[in-house]
Amino acid sequence: MKNFKRYLVTSALPYANGPVHLGHVAGVYLPSDIYVRYLRLQDKDVVWVCGSDEHGVPITLKARKEGVSPKQIVDRYHKIIKDAFEEFGISFDIYSRTSSAEHYKTAQEFFKTLEQKKEFIIKTSKQFYDPEADMFLADRYLQGTCPHCEHEGAYGDQCEACGSSLSTTELKNPKSVLTGSTPELRETKHWYLPLDKHQEFLEKWILQDHKEWKPTVSGQCKSWFEKGLQARAVSRDLNWGVPLPVDNADGKVMYVWFDAPIGYISATKELTPDWEKYWKSEDTKLVHFIGKDNIVFHCIIFPAMLKAEGSYTLPDNVPANQFLNLEGDKISTSRNWAVWLHEYLQEFKNKQDELRYAVAAGLPEARDNDFKWKDYQDRVNNELVAIFGNFVNRSLVLCKKYYGGEIPQANIGNDEKEILNSIKETGKLIGEHIENFKFREALKAMMEVARIGNKYLADSEPWKLIKTDPEKVKTILNTAIQITASLSIYCEPFLPFTAEKIRKILNITHKKWDMAGDANLIPAGHSIGEVSLLFEKVEDEVIQAQLDKLMKTKEDNSSDEKLELEPAKDKIDFDDFLKPDLRVVTILKAEKVAKTKKLLKLEVDTGLDIRTVVSGIAEHYSPEEIIGKKVCMVINLAEKKIRGIASSGMVLMANDSQGKLSFISPQDDLHAGSVIS
Ligand SMILES: [Zn+2]
């Protein structure tokens, strides 16, 4: 492994149109906090930057909906997000924002450099324009039908039903979200970053030179490379964003995904005049912590930008996490299905470490994971209270009781040497796991130290020995206190508030990682302070209250659902009704369509023939569970190619306003080919 002199760590900039929830915490902020706190304990030269991402269309749409300015929206959420991070112990060196003057300057200089180096292509093309609103309709200002899966609510930049990334002109039946009118095409000029030009370099850099990256990350990159990278527009016709610093570009701003990652650079500049040392030296290790939805931007687009600029180093690793679900359901801001960090901090005062522990134990490192309140309770009660808290408390209480809190002299024997040695070894293991971004394993190893301590006390039974061999008890409790002090070091990346509590009780200053496991971490004769419990048990009522809150959200959502039903369609003639040939069909085979999230390829028996249809249901049904099912289908629909597969027909699905899909099936067991009328 390369020997790096310093670290530059970035965490994905949270988008300032809403507060931060547990999914964000588990995906990005907790793992990066563990990583950086560990590096600091190792005395490494490390800088950790983050800030609010304050541009882009969703913010302007939210502002319009609420009748306020985009600035008011970002000011509100920047404060909520920043305060919540601080209280939760997310220890950025700086939490900035992309509306800062420094950021505008930095992003514009960056853009100018690329412009001067002729790294952009400038193209005039036809884009949708809403004459009523008098503006071009970028990204989410446009909704229409997806050209790939026929989903009707696709956005100008993405179809959420099939996951395809779109450009606005690809949408069928486009409508302006501002006025609902059909937009017209007008010519406009835009700046494009030709990613294809950098493909060869990026491919080698990721797939050959960085084989240590998570397979989930390099796998996604690989599929982008296979599709072939294309030029990507980096400007927009909008009035909210960083204005393009070039002539003849009035009314144009940078695409939010162009300026946002430059925010890492601006934040570093705000933090230190030495910023170039971190961004422009070969011996800096740059690590981007992100969620899986940002992989393309951090592994392909931003590195292409940095490389095109020419003076920056590229990331050494991008340890993206998968998603965290909540109680078996996808976290969703619009459905309010989330545990909001600022709400947790209000409802669970001074219980930051309990949440940090429960989330760290279930980080979605290799696959999506689920947060359950019952697991939270179990983790706190059975691990933090019963193992960690129990060991520390017993050691401290006995030291108070027998020696008035003055650490006794030890006469270290082989047992103690062995135990302290195993603690040092475990510390190395924790460090290795953290350096390899395996935070769940690291947390387990940290708890192992508490387990070693617990076992040592249980085996040596100082409370019995005090009557028969008081000299030995001195050694035992001295050792137990050394282990407690070691724990305060090893737990700090994960449980910083607990580490601080232990230091206060032990009456010691902050120590470094390598000192843990020393026999003289705290010298004999040192006096400890007041003893108090580290953790409290979580009662059933507390968990029930959280589950009730979520249940209420579910109920609110389903009552909203009634309100949001689609309006009735226009009347049709009976003859029109007879046109679709609707039949009961049997699903014979089902498999996922490669490289798609939503599509299943089905082989169905229509009674008349066996045929193939592609259906966008993969997120609602697994292939295994639907084989043999009798469902309804339109069998006389013109054949259509979907992802290269000829699909003849459409399986009917009921679609609720939350986007949940459900098959329509006959009540009784009818044979395939039965006519529906
Ligand atoms: Zn689609």
Residues 595-653 pLDDT 10s:
888 899 999 999 999 999 999 999 888 888 888 889 999 999 998 888 889 999 999 99
Average pLDDT for the chain: 94
3-state secondary structure 392-446: HHHHHHHHHHHHCCECCCCCCCHHHHHHHHHHHHHHHHHHHHHHCCCHHHHHHHH
Distance 160 CA to ligand 1 centre (A): 7
Nearest to residue 55, comparing CAs of 183, 231, 232, 244? 244
Distance 147 CA to ligand 1 centre (A): 7
Band (pLDDT 50/70/90 cuts) for residue 158 is: confident
In b/e form, how buried is each residue of 138-154, taking b as 16+ CB within 10 angstroms? bbbbbbbbbebbbbeeb
Lowest-pLDDT choice from 91-100, 148-157, 289-298: 148-157
Distance 323 CA to ligand 1 centre (A): 21
Nearest to residue 439, comparing CAs of 26, 12, 7, 24? 26
DSSP state of 387: I
pTM above 0.85, yes or no: no
Distance 165 CA to ligand 1 centre (A): 9
Distance 640 CA to ligand 1 centre (A): 14
Provide CB contacts within 8 A for 594, sequence distance 6+. none
Band (pLDDT 50/70/90 cuts) for residue 265 is: very high
Nearest to residue 48, comparing CAs of 268, 266, 263? 268
Distance 158 CA to ligand 1 centre (A): 8
Distance 173 CA to ligand 1 centre (A): 13
Distance 162 CA to ligand 1 centre (A): 4
In b/e form, how buried is each residue of 91-121, taking b as 16+ CB within 10 angstroms? ebbbbbbbbbebbbebbbebbeebbeeebbe
Distance 99 CA to ligand 1 centre (A): 33
The mean pLDDT of 355-362, rounded to a whole number, is 98
Alpha carbon distances (Å) from 49 to 266, 464, 600: 9, 52, 41
Residues 452 and 332: beta-carbon distance below 8 Å: no
Distance 138 CA to ligand 1 centre (A): 18
Distance 159 CA to ligand 1 centre (A): 5
Distance 142 CA to ligand 1 centre (A): 14
Token pair, residue 37, equals 């706190």
% of the chain residues with pLDDT over 70: 98
Q: Round to whole Å and give the CA distance between 626 and 615.
A: 12
Token pair, residue 284, equals 């800096």
How far is residue 84 CA from its own chain's centroid?
16
Residues 456 and 483: beta-carbon distance below 8 Å: yes
Distance 614 CA to ligand 1 centre (A): 12
The mean pLDDT of 415-421, rounded to a whole number, is 96
Distance 23 CA to ligand 1 centre (A): 25
E-strand stretches of 264-422: 284-289, 324-326, 329-330, 369-371
State yes or no: pLDDT of 659 exceeds 80.
no
Band (pLDDT 50/70/90 cuts) for residue 134 is: confident
Question: How are beta strands 142-145 and 121-130 bridged, if at all?
Answer: unpaired
In terms of phi and psi (left: phi > 0; alpha: psi -120 to 50; beta: otherwise), the region of 106 is alpha
Is residue 102 helix, strand or coil?
helix
User: Which pLDDT value is given to residue 625?
Assistant: 81
User: Which pLDDT value is given to residue 565?
Assistant: 63
Distance 655 CA to ligand 1 centre (A): 15
Distance 491 CA to ligand 1 centre (A): 46
Give the end-to-end CA distance of the chain in Å, rounded to a whole number: 68
Q: Round to whole Å and give the CA distance between 674 and 677.
A: 10
User: What sign does the CA torsion over 406, 412, 413, 419 have?
Assistant: positive
Token pair, residue 272, equals 């230190």
Distance 153 CA to ligand 1 centre (A): 9
Distance 41 CA to ligand 1 centre (A): 48
Distance 644 CA to ligand 1 centre (A): 14
Nearest to residue 60, comparing CAs of 139, 146, 127, 131? 139
Provide CB contacts within 8 A for 363, sequence distance 6+. 26, 30, 31, 321, 324, 369, 439, 440
Q: In this structure, how many other beta carbons lie within 10 angstroms of the beta carbon of residue 422?
A: 15
Tokens 């966008």 identify what position? 616
3-state secondary structure 568-625: CCCCCCHHHHHCCCEEEEEEEEEEECCCCCCCEEEEEECCCCEEEEEECCCCCCCHHH
The mean pLDDT of 553-557, rounded to a whole number, is 85
Q: Which long-range contacts (CB under 8 A, 24 or more apart) does 535-542 make?
A: 535/353, 535/354, 535/380, 535/384, 535/385, 535/388, 535/389, 535/498, 536/385, 537/380, 537/381, 537/385, 538/354, 538/376, 538/377, 538/380, 538/381, 540/377, 542/377
Q: In this structure, how many other beta carbons lie within 10 angstroms of the beta carbon of residue 539?
A: 11
pLDDT tens digits, one per residue of 367-395: 999 999 999 999 999 999 999 999 999 99
The mean pLDDT of 297-312, rounded to a whole number, is 97
Token pair, residue 664, equals 């329509």
State yes or no: pLDDT of 663 exceeds 80.
yes
Distance 243 CA to ligand 1 centre (A): 32
Alpha carbon distances (Å) from 164 to 154, 159, 412, 643: 9, 5, 65, 11
How many helices (H) and strands (E) in the chain? Answer: 23, 25
Residue type for position 621? Y
Distance 64 CA to ligand 1 centre (A): 26
% of the chain residues with pLDDT over 90: 81
Band (pLDDT 50/70/90 cuts) for residue 569 is: confident
Distance 440 CA to ligand 1 centre (A): 35
pLDDT tens digits, one per residue of 463-475: 999 999 999 999 9
Distance 61 CA to ligand 1 centre (A): 22
Distance 189 CA to ligand 1 centre (A): 27
The mean pLDDT of 156-166, rounded to a whole number, is 82
Distance 200 CA to ligand 1 centre (A): 29
Backbone φ and ψ of 533, nearest 5°: -70, 145
User: Which pLDDT value is given to residue 657?
Assistant: 66
The mean pLDDT of 232-257, rounded to a whole number, is 94
Token pair, residue 567, equals 């309006």
User: Which pLDDT value is given to residue 658?
Assistant: 66
Q: Round to whole Å and give the CA distance between 302 and 259.
A: 10
- Residue 663: strand pairing partners: 653
pLDDT tens digits, one per residue of 175-215: 999 888 999 999 999 999 999 999 999 999 999 999 999 99
- Residue 9: strand pairing partners: 48, 287
Q: Round to whole Å and give the CA distance between 644 and 612.
A: 12
Q: Please, is 411 exposed, middle or buried when counting C-beta atoms within 10 Å of its C-beta (0-12, 13-18, 19+)?
A: exposed
